[in-house]
């Protein structure tokens, strides 16, 4: 089944294609000839995931999904959270965002953080959301060059490598996005059986 992924983030597209396996054929916006900025103006991760999926569904009428992710740092009261993409200011780089959280956490012994991802799926006009989380800590310095976003400073609990040091299959197997997609695929399999 074709499923359009409502994102302009090529890192996410690559990860989702690696995670999804053969269950769905993931179409990019480019495959669907859609070249547009997708609004994400809500105040929650859930709200943004739903807003992005509805926007693309209303535009194309195709089965689609969107994800929204936030890095929630305990000592920062859950920030950057829904503001993770633009934490250091509009148009900022991944590295500037990392610089800002490292500065805000400097000297702080509490480095606990989690990635939280919400996926909103619109299938045959019906909406469904799925959440995936991964707990970890923020390292003192950047480690590794793979992945994207905050990966160089996120050390998942129980591992000795940051997301940016891990091979992609390992990150995808435990990540917030991997876990949310896992739930989506299981839900879809069950709903096929129920039909």
Q: How far is CA 133 from CA 14, 27, 89, 115, 184, in A?
A: 19, 25, 25, 6, 14
Q: Which of 56/190 has CB closer to ligand IMP?
A: 56
Assigned token pair, 73: 């740092």
Q: Which is nearer to ligand IMP, 83 or 190 (CB)?
A: 83
Report the alpha-carbon distance of residue 195 to residue 192 in Å, rounded. Answer: 5
Provide the minimum distance between the beta carbon of 40 and ligand IMP in the complex, in angstroms, as a whole number: 6
- Name the minimum Å distance from CB 135 to ligand IMP: 14
CB of 138 to ligand IMP, least distance (A): 12
Instruction: Give the residue at shortest CB distance from ligand IMP.
Output: 149
Annotation marks residue 68 as catalytic = yes
Q: 9 vs 139, which CB is nearer to ligand IMP?
A: 9
Q: How far is CA 114 from CA 69, 143, 194, in A?
A: 10, 17, 34
The binding site for ligand IMP (CB under 6 A) comprises 9, 67-69, 84-85, 94, 97, 147-151, 163, 175, 177
Smallest CA-to-CA distance from 68 within 85, 56, 54 is with 85
Active-site entry in 31, 35, 67, 68 = 68
Catalytically annotated residues:
68
């Amino acid at each position: 089944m074709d499923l359009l992924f409502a994102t302009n983030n090529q890192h996410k597209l690559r990860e989702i294609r690696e995670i999804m396996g053969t269950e769905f054929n993931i179409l990019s916006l480019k495959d669907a000839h859609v070249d547009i900025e997708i609004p994400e103006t809500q105040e929650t991760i859930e709200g943004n995931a739903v807003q992005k999926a509805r926007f693309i569904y209303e535009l194309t009428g195709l089965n689609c999904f969107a994800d929204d992710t936030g890095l929630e740092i305990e000592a920062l009261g859950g920030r950057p959270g829904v503001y993770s993409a633009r934490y250091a200011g509009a148009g900022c780089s991944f590295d500037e965002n990392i610089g800002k959280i490292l500065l805000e956490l400097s000297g702080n012994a509490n480095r606990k953080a989690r990635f939280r991802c919400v996926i909103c799926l619109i299938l045959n006009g019906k909406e469904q959301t799925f959440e995936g989380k991964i707990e970890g800590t923020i390292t003192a310095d950047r480690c590794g060059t793979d992945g994207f976003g905050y990966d160089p400073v996120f050390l998942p609990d129980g591992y000795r490598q940051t997301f940016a040091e891990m091979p992609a299959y390992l990150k995808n197997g435990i990540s917030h996005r991997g876990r949310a997609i896992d739930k989506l695929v299981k839900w879809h399999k069950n709903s096929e059986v129920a039909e």
